[in-house]
Amino acid sequence: MVNDRAYLKAARQGEGLARLRKEVGRLMAGFASNGAEAVEPAALLPADILIDLYGEDLRARAYTTMDPVSGEQMLRPDFTVPVAQMHMQSGAAFGRYAYAGSVWRRQQPGSDRPTEYLQCGFETFGEADIAQADAEVFALLAEALRGLPVAPQTGDIGIVLAGIDALETTPPRKAALLRHLWRPTRFKRLLERYAGKTALQRVDLLEEFQASDAPMIGLRSADEIKARIEILREDAAAPPIPASRIALLEQALAVKSPLKDALKTLRGIAKEMPALTPAIDLVEARAEAISGFGIDGFALPFEASYGRTTLEYYDGFVFGFTADNRPDLPQIAQGGRYGALTRALGRATEAVGGIIRPEALLALGEKP
């Protein structure tokens, strides 16, 4: 119905709209009490930089249009990237920001997921104490959801990043694994290939290409095609990654338990793969910091692979809050650390934040 919005019925006018606005005001007031400045990025944004920053999944789901003067434009698919851009452009070393507004994402044909929904969020930049900043953002969102039937989930992308870096293989292979980290099936296939379990097909293509007099078709030049084939040949000639190292990485990725138990398991793996230790130390320090906010950080559910199918700019702590009794609703809140995004924007700084979906939050009190 035209009066419905996202997951909430009758919320575009009258009492329903007033109730939603009141909830948004409550969330924004909580963020402001933690030092956040309210910001409102434009709804229509230049697409050139954003398309690369958001990653393949969101690239396919963004609404884009062509402006004759400004070029390709994108409807805001989330707030984190434009808020990060605002902070970068300000030149400030530190910043805390809060926002509320609509975001838009295309859905697959036949999907009942909304194409427009609200996000309320909090982002913080430049905090030197990573564990403390992560804990503060998590606790802030947990407080906003206090008393609601939601369950937390936590993870840390830094574990798998450290594991990839520790593999005994070539830089191009590590780069490929990092690129496909967000697609677990493709990632697993690459690991199998690099371990020598599956073969790279047709490494003789360069000779065939050079000997062919077939006409060139497509957008790639002959030099680009040759360069790509050379990469494939070098990859085929690289020695396999030792099976023992891949097994350790897979063991780390499979960790899923209360955080206290997860730390014990990860410490055991780190005896054979010491490069994981700094990331594990950060997980433990974060749990201690979360406990300082009155939440037992060591009792939180932890999953090392959590967050690997979400936005590709997360590179550390990731978390979410889910209503297990409402599978029709998305995560009510989620967030994480994204220093890699700030590096891509040209000025590396520590950054962490999270969002709440107010329409989904209010829908918790209604019958599905």
Closest CA to 301 of 152, 91, 90: 152
pLDDT at 222 over 70: no
Please answer whether residues 111 and 79 qualify as being in contact, where contact means their C-beta atoms are separated by less than 8 angstroms: no
Q: SS3 breakdown of the chain: % helix, strand, coil, rounded to 5? A: 45, 20, 35
CA distance to 66, 141, 161, 308, 343, per residue, from 316 (Å): 35, 18, 9, 11, 14
pLDDT at 72 over 90: no
Q: Which domains does the chain have, with CATH numbers?
A: 1-150+323-368 (3.30.930.10)
The larger pLDDT score, comparing residue 213 to residue 247, is at 247
Instruction: Say how many residues make up the chain.
Output: 368
Mean pLDDT score, 188-192 = 89
Closest CA to 332 of 147, 190, 134: 147
pLDDT at 219 over 60: no
First to last CA, the chain: 16
Distance CA 83, CA 97 (A): 8
pLDDT over 90 percentage in the chain: 59
Span 44-64, pLDDT tens digits: 988 877 777 766 566 677 888
Mean pLDDT score, 241-264 = 95
Distance CA 26, CA 141 (A): 12
The larger pLDDT score, comparing residue 197 to residue 38, is at 38
Please answer whether residues 112 and 2 qualify as being in contact, where contact means their C-beta atoms are separated by less than 8 angstroms: no
Q: Look over the chain and give the mean of its residue pLDDT values, rounded to a whole number.
A: 88
